[in-house]
Copies of this chain bind each other. A is one copy, B any other.
Amino acid sequence: MTRKTSPRPQKIGLPPGSPVYFGQTPPGPTEITYFHYTSEEVVEEKISSLAEVFTREKKEGITWLNINGFQNVEAITQLTQHYQIHPLVLEDILTVDQRPRMEDFERYLFITLRMFYLSGQKKEIIDEQLSLILGENYLLSFQEIPGDVFNPVRERLRSGKGRLRMLGADYLAYSLIDAVVDNYFLILEHLGEKIEVTEKQLIEDPSPENLSAIFRLKRNLIFLRRSIWPLRETINTLLRSESKLLSPSTLLYFRDVYDHTIQVIETLETLRDILSEMLDIYLSSQSNRLNQIMKVLTIIATIFMPLTFIAGIYGMNFRYMPELNSVWGYPAVLLLMTLVAGLMLVYFRKQKWL
């Protein structure tokens, strides 16, 4: 969640459409998982050689190839060439900082988006690029690293529950995107909880630590926003594209995902509003605290400065100071001091400083 700029510069000088991996971390080993299903049966396998895939694929039903890790660029190139994918698409798949978008190449649709999920006990936010190629009866999905949000979909494929196995590759693509968007809600809930914790601390006892927590959360939202805003547009393009690859009944489901995306965006904006508000609260609490500190200082100084001055007068060594010799001198001065201090306290109470 901390990429600020893209790794694009390394690419300068290469001709466009070059099948080379570009990312901030080295590419992981390439693993290919093969799913083939009809309404009756489902086959699931880890693939070692692409040739295997190409022979099998002639059967009826839907094929889903999930590619994980971009170390073996050659195999990936071979695969996309087999499906006659445009080299620019391959380049975009391998450059893992794409802006979510969708492109219609008639024979297939290319969709790229960002997948976020929480990982491990520390609930770290994992951010990776997901690229989908949707053809007539196949779906290719490309991920950067192992681990994803698709296990419920796989489970539904295996068990045959729900409509998934009865419908086309477009419904499978919908199911994957829906899983991704559902996880956005999870991330937002996670951030929302962190915001609530920070807010409570802020109200009880504002400290500079709260401030940096606010800024950290704010930055997280900036990056999420950058990934999720274009997704709205992406799905909208998909809804308006009159591609034959998308059946009308699936479009209804995509409309649902579209609504979810808008809801994610609005939640995000609300969280941003709350964070700005918390910053305002912090700053005004700072200023309030300064006022408190200054009040204490002023009260102390205003009481003790006149008193010290009075004491100073009678500490002078003039030979002729009649008060010094009076028996009542000392008690009178003590009384005067008490009076002065009392008057000051009355004044401060009037000013509502006490």
Contact = CB atoms under 8 A, between A and B. Distances in A.
Contacts of A163: 15, 17
Given A162-B15, A192-B4, A300 B302 contact: yes
A330 B8 CA distance: 74
Contacts of A320: 326-327, 329-330
A319 interface: yes
Given A101-B259, A308-B309, A320-B330, 5 more contacts: A16-B175, A203-B212, A286-B291, A287-B290, A297-B301
Contacts of A297: 294, 297-298, 301-302
Contact size class for A? 35 or more
Interface stretch (A34-42, A65-73, A137-145, A179-187): A179-187
Contacts of A326: 320
Interface in A18-32: none
Copies of this protein in the assembly total: 5
Interface string A61-98: 00000000000000000000000001010001000011
Interface in A307-349: 307-309, 311-321, 323-327, 329-330, 333
A48 interface: no
A263 interface: yes
Nearest to A179: B12
Nearest to A288: B208
Contacts of A309: 304, 307-308, 311
Contacts of A291: 286, 289-290, 293
Contact of A319 (B208, B290, B325): B325
Which of A205, A211, A294 counts the most B-chain CB atoms under 10 A from its CB? A294
Interface stretch (A51-59, A119-127, A236-244, A264-272): A264-272
A155 interface: yes
Contact of A185 (B8, B101, B284): B8
A109 interface: no
A274 interface: yes
Nearest to A283: B284
A5 B192 contact: yes
A97 B263 CA distance: 9
Interface in A142-184: 149, 151-152, 155-156, 161-164, 174-175, 178-179, 182-183
A259 B284 CA distance: 39
Contacts of A300: 298, 301-302, 305-306
A33 interface: no
A205 B281 CA distance: 19
Contacts of A315: 311-312, 315-317
Contacts of A329: 318-320
